[in-house]
Amino acid sequence: MNLAAFRQSLAAPAPPAGLTPALAALWHDAHGDFDRAHDLAQSDEGGAGDWVHAYLHRKEGDAGNAAYWYRRAGKPICRETLDAEWEAIARALLERGAS
């Protein structure tokens, strides 16, 4: 799946089958379901979910918690818009074949 197909899947009522927890978290975040997105990111601790977890805490305005998860993910604290970060994470995970 590429980014365009992933974005198209957002029109569906449920995420596509076979997504990793991190990508499913991004899908649910785009649908406004923070709690489900957070649960999925947290379930992927030590993996790509740490990066999504950081993004989610940044989005909710919890900079301290976000910084912790960025460190765990080995990523710098993002200074881009939330939309740009969502896209960067999705693109990176899809390019890695994470779906």
Per-domain boundaries in the chain? 19-95
Taking only the tens place, the pLDDT of each residue in 40-62 is 999 998 889 999 999 999 999 99
List the one residue out of 29, 3, 10 whose CA is nearest residue 88. 3
Q: Report d(CA 79, CA 33) in Å as an integer.
A: 23
- Phi, psi torsion values for 7, nearest 5 degrees: -60, -40
Q: What is the pLDDT of residue 37?
A: 98
Q: What is the pLDDT of residue 99?
A: 45
pLDDT band at residue 91 under the 50/70/90 scheme: very high
Cα of first residue to Cα of last residue in the chain, in angstroms, is: 7
pTM for the whole structure: 0.94
pLDDT band at residue 64 under the 50/70/90 scheme: very high
Structure tokens at 87: 């896209």
**Average pLDDT rounded to a whole number, residues 20-42:** 97
Q: What is the CATH number of domain 19-95?
A: 1.25.40
